[in-house]
């Protein structure tokens, strides 16, 4: 993917994030508790830089304001990015298990190989499935975008 296309994608993503950013408003008395919690969130949307054509592990650090369980993370790159998970699984989870408590930080890892010369940026779409650890808690599905810097 050429640098012009990558810059266009970056600009569109930033514009989209700005236009979708929540606007701060006073909380109403009828607001539900879910309106105020953020659930599982990455600490940053920029991954560690990698070298082209080298299989390298990258980490995503996560935090939450509610206890989450059964976390499964999957990453998808464009056709020039291969993603592999630990232990030959089809997903990854936290280093300390499949749950995270409020205020704690843990990470997920996966291996990427970028099959294109750098420098540049690759966009990865990451899906996260999790629940709030209750017997009747539905499985939540989030899609989050991440930028992967590629060295020269």
Helix then strand count (H, E) for the chain reads: 1, 7
Domains and their CATH numbers in the chain:
40-150 (2.60.40.10)
Separation in Å, CA 125 to CA 28, 73, 74, 112: 34, 10, 8, 13
Q: Quick check: 105 and 43 in contact, CB under 8 A?
A: yes
Separation in Å, CA 6 to CA 14, 52, 116, 121, 148: 12, 16, 13, 6, 11
pLDDT score at 28? 33
Distance CA(136)–CA(56), nearest Å, equals: 38
pLDDT score at 39? 87
pLDDT score at 64? 96
Which residue's structure tokens are 């949307």? 45
pLDDT score at 56? 97
pLDDT single digits (tens) 92-107: 999 999 999 999 999 9
pLDDT score at 88? 86
pLDDT single digits (tens) 43-64: 999 999 999 999 999 999 999 9
Distance CA(71)–CA(129), nearest Å, equals: 6
pLDDT score at 37? 60
| Residue 151 DSSP symbol | -
Distance CA(116)–CA(97), nearest Å, equals: 33
Residue numbers in the chain where pLDDT is lower than 50: 1-36
pLDDT score at 32? 40
Q: How far apart are the first and last CA of the chain?
A: 14
């Amino acid at each position: 993917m050429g640098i012009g296309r990558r810059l266009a994608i970056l600009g569109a993503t930033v514009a989209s994030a700005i236009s979708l950013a929540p606007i701060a408003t006073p909380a109403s008395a009828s607001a539900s508790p879910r309106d105020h919690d953020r659930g599982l969130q990455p600490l940053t949307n920029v991954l560690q830089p990698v070298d082209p054509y080298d299989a390298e592990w990258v980490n995503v650090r996560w935090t939450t304001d509610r206890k989450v369980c059964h976390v499964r993370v999957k990453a998808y790159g464009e056709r020039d990015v291969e993603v592999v998970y630990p232990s030959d699984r089809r997903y990854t989870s936290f280093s300390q298990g499949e749950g995270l408590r409020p205020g704690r930080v843990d990470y997920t890892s996966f291996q990427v190989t970028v099959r294109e010369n750098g420098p540049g940026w690759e966009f990865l779409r990451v899906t996260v499935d999790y629940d709030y650890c209750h017997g009747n808690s539905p499985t939540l599905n989030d899609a989050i975008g991440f930028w992967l810097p590629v060295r020269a």
